[in-house]
Chains A and B, each alone.
Chain A
Amino acid sequence: MQRSVQYALMLCAAFPALVGAQGFAIYEQGACAMGRAGTGVAAPCDDGSAMYFNPAGLAGIKGGRATIGVTLLDVKGSFTDDIYQQKTDLDDPLLAVPQAYVAFGLTPKLGVGIGLFAPYGLETQWPLSFDGRFAGYDNILRSVYLQPTVAYQVTPWLSLGAGVDIAFGSVELNQRLDLAAAPVPLPGVPPGTIFGQFGIAPGTDFANAHLEATHTSVAAHFGTLVKVNDRVSFGARFLTQAKFDYSGTADFQQVPTGLVVPADIPVTATDTIHAGTPIDGLLGAPGLDLFNPTTGVFRSQPVTTTVKNPSQLALGVAFKVASGWTLLGDYQLTWWDSFDVLEIKFPQDPSGALGRTLFENYQNTSGFRFGAEWQKDAKWTFRGGYLYHQGAAPDETVTPLLPEGDRNEITAGAALKLSKGLSADVAYQYIRQNDRRGRTREPLFNQPPTTGLNNGLYTFHAHLFGVSLGYKF
């Protein structure tokens, strides 16, 4: 059992950061709001996206709206290690985050709608030559929220709205395991001895791990909108935490090392590993038998964990000035401190010893958004904005799964009325994240990470393109 524990700890060391970073909160849920840096709590766009930006914004709408959109993320990032000064680029494909909203004004005061959006998501792909492959080289997190919404204009100046979110979550992690860091579960070898002490070089892949898990959760979304007068309005929204009790499977494949034992190695007074023995064969030989599909440490087995998508609060103000101009400002608080410790459990381990507690210690983050919108005429509207957002990961938790940090972003957008009911919105957003030191490896054996593990510099920036097509009926 001891070897099972040790190997499982190797595997799970990387899992939590996948689902823990600030940067995978996606705020680009409509090209209209995206063009003005995501501002809109106090003045949601008239395209149904109020379901995300402020549910109260559906109150008082006339007729119906149907909007579909997509945000394309062209992510660029790299890691330059301290030792070799070698730069490795992220291998991410062009990512697409869809949105769809349908809203209808049932009465002059009551609006309803249903929205589909993905407020949390992440995909990081690194080449297999990257040292961070032992933390995760192909990592995907998806959280898709389906939100029925209702909003009511309580008074001419006050509207309230709320929605229930059915949240579909999935996570996938692919990582390599490093033989140098693996324990040597041979009789006669002191417990805790790792293959690295037998000379195996760091970065010797011997197994590939694939973890996949899903869960459906529920959250709630509340909003309020206060119109002080025709020019000034305030808004607030609150998205509750969604707790995902993920359940899935861990699968493993042996990766050949091609290494051969160069000389007879006595391991006990009577046992010797003979010269010429392939190390790959040794790992599968009786006594270790790591990859036996029924009894091996690396057999397929269930894995569970609990992850919380954090609560969000946004407060905003909008000010309509002369000549069709509107200025907007939002403040956002995300409670990432709920992601401080993560428990990984393997239910088929009767002793429960495979479970692990991981320390993340994420910090609450604040975001500041400033936007402007200029309605040039009945056909054209132009938008722009700037935002700054803090990173959630502390200095010791910047990893290949999400090497995130403080960000500065600028946006621009435009809307074109194509016909009486049909309109199109486009937006562009540039994200520039501050370069940040981080690590490629996870600490072994349940150790809390420290900045001493940081071994290089992460850079990150991204180009986002949003497009929405809306129809009023």
Chain B
Amino acid sequence: MTHGRFFVAGGLSLALLAGACHEDELFSPLPPQYAGGAMFQRYVAMGNSITAGFQSGGFNDSTQKQSYALLLATAMGSQYYYPSFTMPGCPPPIDTLFTASGVPHTLGAPLAPPCALRSPTIPPYLTNVAVPGATTFDPVSTLPTVSSNALTLFILGGRSQVEAAADAHPTFLSVWIGNNDVLGAATDQTNAGDPTKVTPVALFTANYDAMLADLDTISTLQGAILVGVADVAAIPYLSYGHIYFGAFLGGAFPPTMTVSSNCAPQSSGGIGDTVLVPFQYGFGLIAQARGGATVTLDCTDDHNIEPTELANLHSTVAAYNAAIAARATARDWAFLNPNVALAALRADPAQVAPFPNTAATSCWGANAAGKPFGLAFSCDGVHPSAATHRLIAQILRDSINVHYGSKIPAVP
């Protein structure tokens, strides 16, 4: 054999080596194939109960799958991992609001504490890190806050929302936080609208800035949309006093129940169109009257959101949203004020019932007769229905496309 043959053999070996198998194509997920799609390769949603998919006072895999975050992620083509809660839920949602006993019926059998836990199939990371009940005090906190609850642990496992979001290496974020900074006051059962339970604007903005400062350190982030705080006046859990007054005049209540004339509209000398009556208080009185007690709904009662309190809630939400919008602008992020769409829903009685529909037999009906609070809201009168989640996903998609010039397809 010559030297040449020897080196031919060596060359053959090298060729065989060069031909060694590569499997790179087996694991590289491609970014979504539309304009701007790469930005949305990993979308993460932060927020509170709405983002988490809370409906009808409960939370389970079924309601989680109706979250706008999932719908938007699907439209984006982004992988979506959520902390799936097993049935019946944590807590189980209400399935029938109006019952003979007067106690709403929840899905499934009563549970041993704490509740139905998460599915044992644990996702590698979360793209929906929202926690029901979260306020602006929570997104950066790993310690107990005034608003942390069992779900804070079950969803985040001791991490903060920002830490959990960062663990997902997000390319795009939506942040809808702050609703509970006013909702807690609006739904307070002894003094609805209590201004001392509203997060002051200065503190709100400080909390928000702390969250943004941490988000700014996420190196993978290419864009975000900040969502403004919802105006509590848009939720059907709160009905205007004049609606009660009208129903009273129409004989809709038991004979032992009276609605004070101060609940009449301003045009009739009352304050009923600037007072919100919480569902729990108003229907509590009705239940008492049905039991034979003599009761009066007085629109100046502390249980209601009174005119000054309502004005404070409106102005606070407006100040929150101005601060959020300014911070979005400073980062060249998108901003969405959800109140435009929510106000439009409230203008349609089929979407947002001005007064709860007691004829509703189920929380899952497909039409107005089946929804105590209208088509747009679930059975707690606070959280959006599946249809409204779809609407939110769509307007988020529209806002993002406008701001970034992207072409996220329509929400499926």
Measuring CB to CB, which residues of chain A are less than 8 angstroms from any residue of chain B?
80, 82-85, 180-181, 188, 192-202, 204, 257, 259-269, 275-276, 279, 321-323, 325, 327, 370, 372, 374, 384, 386, 388, 406, 408, 410, 412, 430, 432-437, 456-457
Q: Is B156 an interface residue (CB 8 A)?
A: yes
CA distance in complex: A67, B14 (Å): 31
Within 8 A of A (CB), among B143-179: 143-145, 148-150, 152-159, 164, 167, 169
Q: Which of A82, A204, A323, A412 contacts B27 (CB 8 A)?
A: A82
- The smallest C-beta distance from B138 to any residue of chain A, in angstroms, reads 9
Determine how close the nearest CB of chain A comes to the CB of B82; give it in whole angstroms: 12
Contact partner of B12 (CB less than 8 A), chosen from A188, A264, A321, A386, is A386
14 contacting pairs across A/B (C-beta < 8 A): A82-B29, A83-B124, A194-B122, A198-B154, A261-B144, A262-B145, A262-B149, A263-B149, A268-B112, A276-B143, A276-B144, A372-B1, A372-B9, A434-B20
**Pairwise interchain contact B153-A457, C-beta atoms closer than 8 A:** no
* A259 and B157 within 8 A (CB): yes
Given A199-B83, A386-B9, A263 and B150 touching (CB < 8 A)? yes
A321 to B5, CA, bound (A): 13
Residues of B within 8 A of A193 (CB): 117, 120
Residues of A contacting B156 in the complex (Cβ-Cβ under 8 angstroms): 199, 201, 262
CA–CA, A84 to B142, complex, Å? 24
Interface residues on B, range: 35 or more
Flag whether B16 is at the interface (Cβ < 8 A): yes
Interface class of chain B by DSSP: loop
Task: Return the chain A residue nearest B2 by Cβ.
Answer: A323
Please, which residue of chain A has its CB at the minimum distance from the CB of B26? Answer: A437
* A268 and B169 contact, Cβ closer than 8 Å, known pairs A180-B122, A262-B143: no
- Of A84, A198, A269, A384, which one neighbours B118 at CB under 8 angstroms? A198
**CB nearest neighbor in A for B13:** A386
Whether A260 lies near B142 (C-beta < 8 A) is yes
Chain A nearest CB from B144 CB (Å) reads 4
* Nearest opposing residue in chain B for A430, CB measure: B17
Please name the residue on chain B nearest to A322 by beta carbon.
B1
Task: State the CA gap A257–B157 with chains docked (Å).
Answer: 11
Among A199, A412, A436, the residue within 8 A (CB) of B153 is A199
Contact A262 B152 (CB under 8 A): yes
B152 near A456: Cβ-Cβ < 8 Å: no
Q: Which residues of B contact A322 (CB under 8 A)?
A: 1
Whether the Cβ atoms of A196 and B118 lie closer than 8 Å is yes
Are A196 and B143 in contact, CB atoms less than 8 angstroms apart? no
Q: Verify B124–A321 contact, CB threshold 8 A.
A: no
Are A261 and B158 interface neighbours, CB within 8 A?
A: yes
- B158: nearest chain-A partner, CB-CB: A259
B330 part of interface (Cβ distance < 8 Å): no
Taking CB atoms, residues of chain A closer than 8 Å to B10 are 384, 386, 410, 412
Q: Looking at the assembled complex, report how far the CB atom of A387 sits from the nearest CB atom of chain B, in whole angstroms.
A: 9
Q: Collect the chain A residues with CB atoms within 8 Å of residue B114's CB.
A: 265-267
Does B404 belong to the interface (CB within 8 Å)? no
A261 and B153 within 8 A (CB):
yes
Q: How far is the CB of A96 from chain B (nearest CB, A)?
A: 25
**A177–B16 Cα gap in the complex (Å)?**
41
**A260–B158 CB distance below 8 A:** yes
Residues 1-30 of B, flagged 1 when their CB comes within 8 A of A and 0 if not, give 101001001101110110011111011110
Query: In the complex, which residues of chain B have a beta carbon less than 8 angstroms from the beta carbon of A435?
Result: 20-24
Q: For A384, what are the chain B residues with a Cβ–Cβ distance below 8 Å? A: 6, 9-10
With contacts A200-B158, A279-B158, A325-B1 taken as known, whether A432 is within 8 angstroms of B23 at the C-beta atoms is no
How far does the alpha carbon of A412 sit from the alpha carbon of B83 in the complex, in Å?
56
Q: Are A321 and B153 in contact (CB under 8 A)?
A: no
Q: Which of B54-75 contact A (CB under 8 A)?
A: none
Shortest beta-carbon distance from A277 to chain B in Å: 10
Assembled-state Cα–Cα distance A279/B27 (Å): 36
With CB as the reference atom, state the residue of chain A lying closest to B115. Answer: A266
State in angstroms the CA–CA spacing of A82 and B26 once bound together: 9
Task: Give the chain B neighbours of A201 by CB distance below 8 A.
Answer: 125-126, 156-157, 159, 164, 167
Contacts of B83 in A (CB 8 A): 199
List chain A residues, Cβ under 8 A from B119: 197
Whether the Cβ atoms of A436 and B23 lie closer than 8 Å is: yes
> Given A276-B143, A432-B17, A437-B27, are A262 and B158 also a contact pair (CB < 8 Å)?
yes
Interface flag for B269 (CB, 8 Å): no
Docked-complex contact A83 and B21, CB < 8 angstroms: no
B250 beta carbon closer than 8 Å to chain A: no
Task: Please state if B122 and A83 are interface contacts (CB–CB under 8 Å).
Answer: no
Contact B157 A204, beta carbon cutoff 8 Å: yes
With most chain A CB atoms within 10 A of its CB, the pick from B83, B126, B150, B158 is B158
B113 in the interface (beta carbon within 8 A): yes
Alpha-carbon separation in the docked complex, A388 to B15 (Å): 13
What residues on A are CB-neighbors of B120 within 8 Å?
192-194, 196-197
Contact between A457 and B158 (Cβ–Cβ < 8 Å)?
A: no
Provide the residues of chain B in CB contact with A408, threshold 8 Å. 13, 16-17, 20
Q: How far is the CA of A326 from the CA of B393 in the complex (A)?
A: 74
Residues of B within 8 A of A188 (CB): 112-113
Residues of A near B28 (CB, < 8 A) are 85
Instruction: Report the minimal beta-carbon distance from B128 to chain A, rounded to whole angstroms.
Output: 13
A434 vs B13: C-alpha distance when bound (angstroms):
15
Contact partner of A434 among B21, B153, B155, CB < 8 A? B21
In the bound complex, how far is the Cα of B14 from the Cα of A323, in angstroms? 25
